[in-house]
Every structure is written in C-alpha cells, then in structure tokens.
Structure 1
Amino acid sequence: MHPAGILEDLRVDVVDSNSCPQMDMYLRNRDLIYPNFSTPKGLCLIINNENFASMPRRHGTEIDCTNLRNLFGQMGYNVVIENDLTCKEMLSRVRTFANDPAHRLTSSAILVVLTHGERDQLLGDFGSCFYVEEKTRPKVLDTLGLGHGLFSRCF
C-alpha cells in the first residue's frame, strides 16, 4: 500500500504513430516541433529538500517526488533524485548534471527543485539560499544547453 497521494494509476500511454491523430499535424509542421525521440528521452534531476534546520519540514514532498519520478520514468527519462541539499550542494549538483556527457545522447533535460523559497529564491536545507534573478536565468539555461526563454517555475 502506498501513502495517500501516490498516483498509482498514473501511466503514460504509447500509441501506434500510424493511428495517432496528432501525427498529421506533426508531419505538416515537422520543422516547428522539437524532436524528442532519443532513448532515453533525456536526463531528469529532482532535488527534493524535505528537512530544514531553520524552517518546518516540507510534509508531502516525498509524495510529490515519487509521483514526478514515476511520471518522468514512464515518459522515458533517466531520473536521479538528490535529497536535502544545501544551496552550495544544489548549485554543485546542477553544474554536474549540466555537464554530464550523457546529455549528448538524449533529446532533452528536466530539472525539478522541490524546496522552500520565495518568488526569486530557493532555500537549502541549512537555511542558505540563492537567488534566481532574471539576469541569471539565461546563464543557467545556457549551462544546461537549453537556450533562452525555456525557464519554467511554479510557486
């Protein structure tokens, strides 16, 4: 039995491309669509900070992390999870992830950070934080090889 909140029936359906209704749209607009056909699709790093020295524990984050791991795994990503990192460790791990030579053999990359924070900052497990400013976003994206304009976050 899974803890409450685990999406047990979560599944990614694979369909025969010949019967897929979106296939015609893809064939007509092939040059406008980002190809994501490698196996694996890409690498996924999930940083999951649950315990903090100066903030309350993030209850439920283990469920979110499990659901994300299952989802991205079913979508064909190699998923790595790092737990309870300081800000320095988060930045170091993201740099290591960005420089992983396995990216050359894949089509995409996903980085998920589950932690305390505010609009423009992320908090590490010992209360340290780093700021995610508009002017630094392109540098992070360039490091990941993602280009400009692809930064997405949910608060």
Structure 2
Amino acid sequence: MGANENDPGDLLYWKKFLAEAGTAFEPTPEPSPSFEMLRELYASIISQYGHACAMTGERFAPAEGLLHDTLEIVAIRPLVAGGALHVSNFLCLSPAAANAFHRGHLAVGPGLELLADLSRIDPELLERLNPQGRLRVPDNPLTHPDPQALAFHRHHIFLAGA
C-alpha cells in the first residue's frame, strides 16, 4: 500500500497539510499612488490652509509652479508608520515650523493647542507661533487634522524626544 496525500489516515496527508498551513501570508502590496493623485493632494492641502502656515498663521502667495517655495506639506503620522494618504493626515507649515514638527520640538494637543518643548524649540519660531496658542485649521471640518494622527505624533515623536 503506497502513500496517499489525499487520505487523512496517511502521514503524507498531514505533512502536506501542515506544510501548507505553515506558509507565510504575504499581503498584496498597495499600489503606489499616482503622480497625479499626489499632486492633487498637495494642491488641496495648500488650498485648504489658504496658503498659510497652520502654526504661525503666516500667509504666502499662491505657488507659480507645482511646488510652493515657502510652504511645506508635512505628514502628521508618517506614511511609513501607518499614516493615511489623506488631507486630514497633513499640515501646511512654514519650513521652520515643519522642521520643528519633524524633530519633535512642536506638537498639537487634543484641543488643537500648540505644544512646544521650550528646551529645544528655536526662540525665533516660538515668537512667530499663533499668539492664541492654537493650530489654525481649514474651514471644512472634513479636512481638520486627524485626532489619532495628532496623538500618534505627540506620543511617538514629540514625547520621544523629551
């Protein structure tokens, strides 16, 4: 009597079954967003924030080309850390504010209050922050910063640097 991989009473059946169960699951990779989609997202974020820095309120003229020279679009929760490719996961910031946000010198609290690490923030930037101490958000509530992304940034970037 020979080995039968289709017979549950045969050892070969179970070896084949367990080998299949041990195969690692590999999800299908997400397709990369198209250049056009990224361009539209970038333009939408700049427009939603009215060509102004969300932390300082500094206003700038619209860009003449594709990219704005004096404003940066910054992911709140980095895409490599699970951040969404959605307008609510991005802030429109001046280069100085973007740098401070990336480095964890600035963050945004649960009530959209600006949080600054006074031991690390550039004093000149601190003077330029919104005097009301709050993040300026777009008029459209659907484009407001995602509270979970802001919490991720506070916990993993802002507090991690303290």
Which has more helix, going by share of residues? 2
Higher relative contact order (CA 8 A, sep 6+): 1
**Structure having the higher Rg:** 2
TM-score range, shorter chain: under 0.3
TM-score by length of 2: 0.25
